[in-house]
Structure 1
């Protein structure tokens, strides 16, 4: 029998349901395709608890720049307008939206 030292178990922090859902929604909103079309539809997953879903959707609804449509199938479509500080020519010239998304914090 060989004697191997066991590596100390790595500790990882569990993220809350609200944090997990917020990260997913933020990632969807900041996706280059969503940024181009300026809308995204968010579906509630089985792992999204009712309280977490309501909290995150409430935070989105309180964000003045966002327009939410609650769909019959339980999904939510989030829409936003091109911001005044974004020049339309720069936007369509293919500027790097991912770099912009990393610099900007999510609205929730």
Structure 2
């Protein structure tokens, strides 16, 4: 009796780039509930943040409307923004889900 051969699955693990890692960190800091309440956050540059990645992400933030950037002496950056008005907020529309008749 022959044994069935096991199929090996190769797991491809994709590493995220430095820009993606820094972007995710900054995004999570901005979206944190405390930062959203106080409408400011200070981003500290880590040893793992390369010059190119830091400049790229800071450049993108600088181009974003409604964000004031302050570059601090310790190489951190403080971001401040105004509360969005009700008119600026995206409206989420929920469509009713029709359930099939039980008969």
TM-score, normalising length: structure 1: 0.70
Q: How many residues align?
A: 84
Q: Secondary structure at the match of 1:27?
A: helix
Q: Secondary structure at the match of 2:27?
A: helix
Structure 2 unaligned blocks of 5 or more: 1-5, 93-103
Hey, what's the Cα distance between the residues in 1 that align with 2:10 and 2:42? 39
- Bigger Rg, structure 1 or 2: 2
Q: CA deviation digits over 1:11-48, x for unaligned, max 9?
A: 21111110100000000000000000000000011110
Supply the RMSD in Å over aligned alpha carbons: 2.1
Q: CA deviation at 1:10?
A: 2.7
The structure in which a higher percent of residues are helix is 1
Match of 1:36 in 2: 37
Hey, what's the Cα distance between the residues in 1 that align with 2:61 and 2:11? 35
Give structure 1 regions of 4+ aligned residues with deviation exceeding 2 angstroms. 7-10
Hey, what's the Cα distance between the residues in 1 that align with 2:40 and 2:21? 21
Q: Secondary structure at the match of 1:79?
A: strand
Match of 2:60 in 1: 59
Structure 1 unaligned blocks of 5 or more: 87-102, 104-108
Match of 1:49 in 2: 50
Q: Secondary structure at the match of 2:83?
A: coil
